[in-house]
Structures are given as C-alpha cells and as structure tokens.
Amino acid sequence: MTDGESDASVGTAADAESDGHSSFPPCPHCDSRVVTVTTRGPMTHVAGPCGCRLTPHEARQL
Ligand SMILES: [Zn+2]
C-alpha cells in the first residue's frame, strides 16, 4: 500500500518541477528565485535579481 502512495507523490512532484520556473532555486534570504549568482570575491557572492548577499556555503547550494 505504501508503494502506491509514494508513486503518486513522486508523480505530482515531477509534474510540478517540469512546470518551468522551478529550475531556479529559491533565495535563502527572501525566497525569490535566484537566476544569477555574482561572485565579487572569495567570500562575497550576490544573488540576482534580488541582490541578497550569500555566504560561500549558500552559493554552492544554489
Ligand atoms: Zn534574496
């Protein structure tokens, strides 16, 4: 029974992801989609278009 349920939820998630915009990850600070990450130094990364500063660890996860 559990298999049927998990199959259904996986199908729903795949449909949502193939919908388009979800290829851009959410900004960890403001939840806007991060389209670009600008690197201005070894410790300075800026998400775009929202402009939030990211730590190197955050930038790596996007
Ligand atoms: Zn942001």
H/E/C letters for each residue in the chain? CHHHHHHHHHHHHHHHHCCCHHHCCECCCCCCECCEEEEEECCEEEEECCCCEECHHHHHHC
**pLDDT of 11 strictly over 70:** no
Q: What distance in angstroms lies between residue 6's CA and the mean position of ligand 1's atoms? A: 33
What's the predicted TM-score (pTM) here? 0.62
Q: What distance in angstroms lies between residue 9's CA and the mean position of ligand 1's atoms? A: 29
What local confidence, expressed as pLDDT, does residue 58 receive?
94
Residues near ligand 1 ion, CB 5 Å cutoff? 27, 29-30, 50, 52
**pLDDT of 14 strictly over 50:** no
Q: What distance in angstroms lies between residue 26's CA and the mean position of ligand 1's atoms? A: 8
pLDDT (tens digit per residue) in 21-53: 568 999 999 999 999 999 999 899 999 999 999
What local confidence, expressed as pLDDT, does residue 25 receive?
93
What local confidence, expressed as pLDDT, does residue 21 receive?
52
